[in-house]
Structure 1
Amino acid sequence: MRNKRGHLQKLAGLLDIPQDIVMDLPRITMLGNKQLLVENHRGIIQYTPSLVRIKLNQGELVVTGADMVLGNLQVEQILLEGIVEVIRYDT
């Protein structure tokens, strides 16, 4: 599996294609500690105002904070708004 990933990374570099597209990786963008945008997710596992667990293709993203709300939920992206304190990527 690692060899396949290595080949995909090289191919993405040669063709100048973003690795997140070729390797089905999530794209995670933060605006300070107030907003977190997660693209290429597989759904929400758990949601509370202080804990959000998001399913990814390989593992899950665990976000802890305060007063977090789902600002935008779409098939391809999730926007969390509130105070983001900790982000952990579990594989």
Structure 2
Amino acid sequence: MLRRRRNLQSLAGILEIPQDIVLDLPRITMLGNKQLLVENHKGIIEYTPSLVRIKLSQGELYIYGETLTLGNLQAEQILIEGVVQEVKYDM
């Protein structure tokens, strides 16, 4: 498995393809502490105004904050809005 991942990383570098696409990795983009966009997720595990847990291909993403809401919710991306205080990636 590790060897396959290394081969895919090398191939992505040679072909100049973003690694998140080849390796099925999430892309996380923050706009200040007001918005957080998660692309390439596997679903929402838990949602409260102070915590959003998102399943990823490898582990979970924890977003802690205040007045968190789900904005643009699509099959491959989630927009979280509110006051983001902490982001934790757990394998």
Query: What TM-score do you get using the length of structure 1 for normalisation?
Result: 0.98
Alignment of 1:21-32 (within 5 A): 21-32=21-32
Residue matched to 1:44:
44
Describe the SS at the equivalent of 1:84: strand
Describe the SS at the equivalent of 2:24: coil
Q: Deviations over 1:39-64 (max 9, x none)?
A: 00000000000000000011110010
- Number of residue pairs matched by the alignment: 91
Instruction: Tell me the amino acid that sits aligned with residue 4 of structure 2.
Output: K
Q: Aligned-pair RMSD on alpha carbons?
A: 0.5
Give the drift of 1:67. 0.5
Identity of aligned residues (%): 70
Give the drift of 1:72. 1.0
Task: Note the residue ranges of structure 2 that are not aligned, 5 or more in a row.
Answer: none
Runs of 4+ aligned structure 1 residues displaced above 6 Å come to none
Q: Distance in 2 between matches of 1:10 and 1:88?
A: 28
Give the drift of 1:4. 1.1
